[in-house]
Amino acid sequence: MQEPIIEIKNANIYQGDNLILQDVNFVVNKGEFVYLVGKTGTGKSSLLKTLYGDITLKEGEGTVVGFNLREMDWKKVPFLRRNLGVVFQDFQLLTDRNVNDNLKFVLKATGWKDEKLMNEKINDVLDKVGLKSKGFKFPFELSGGEQQRIDVARALLNSPKLILADEPTGNLDPETSDEIMNLLYQISRDYGTAVVMATHDYIVVNKYPARMVRTERGRVIDNASITM
């Protein structure tokens, strides 16, 4: 029995008053790895922002990790985000604190209070991304690849059913991109976490084939081919 993690039906997605994507229909199931591709300005980011509650869904139906996107408001968004992880291209780590304190900041912001449990969770996610010894480093002491791994670790803190990754290999060299892709693949496979990854990088898509969804001319095309 497949378990839908994302379910969007007949949705129109707006940025302000501008209709960006119309009649969007797609489902992502537990443990599935999906690429979101499309040229700049075709609505990839708007779709991702709708999925993590940054843009309100005004028309159509949508559920993400059991939350109704039509009922999202600023009070409910934090609860949605406790159940998913977001990985950004530019890492968005807090530069004034070390890795452990970056991760602890997120745990406290999502309602954790027990110091011992927080430390255990931080050790666990750092272990998963292969950086258990780097907790006391500051972001500027880490390579770009290590910072991106910390970003993935941060996304794993609340054991999410879904990771939304926005161009996670965009600023990385090919070898480091491979490391991040292997990590995301492993998370999807080993923990049953669904991963939706927006990317421009067709070398990565060719190397790690998976289902592809494309934004094009105001539409979302499922099971798209790799040709541009």
Domain boundary among 157, 177, 199: 157
Q: Do the domain assignments include residue 2? A: yes
Q: Do the domain assignments include residue 88? A: no
Domain boundary among 157, 172, 188: 157
Q: What is the pLDDT along the chain (228 residues), one digit of tens a residue?
A: 789 999 999 999 999 899 999 999 999 999 999 999 988 889 998 999 999 999 999 999 999 999 999 998 888 988 898 899 999 877 789 999 999 999 999 999 888 999 999 999 999 999 999 999 999 999 999 999 999 999 999 999 999 999 999 999 888 888 989 999 999 999 999 999 999 999 988 888 999 999 999 999 999 998 755 544
Find the radius of gyration of the CA atoms of the chain. 17
Residue 129 and residue 61 share a domain: no
Domain boundary among 123, 142, 157: 157
Determine the distance from the C-alpha atom of residue 151 to the mean position of all C-alpha atoms in its chain, rounded to a whole number. Answer: 10
Residue 202 and residue 188 share a domain: yes
Strand order in the sheet with 194-198: 84-87, 162-166, 194-198, 33-37, 211-216, 219-221
Domain membership of residue 72 as a residue range: 1-83+160-228
Residue 77 and residue 5 share a domain: yes
Residue 224 and residue 117 share a domain: no
Q: Do the domain assignments include residue 45? A: yes
Residue 69 and residue 174 share a domain: yes
Number of domains forming the structure of the chain: 2
Residue 43 and residue 32 share a domain: yes
Residue 165 and residue 55 share a domain: yes
CATH code for the domain of 227: 3.40.50.300
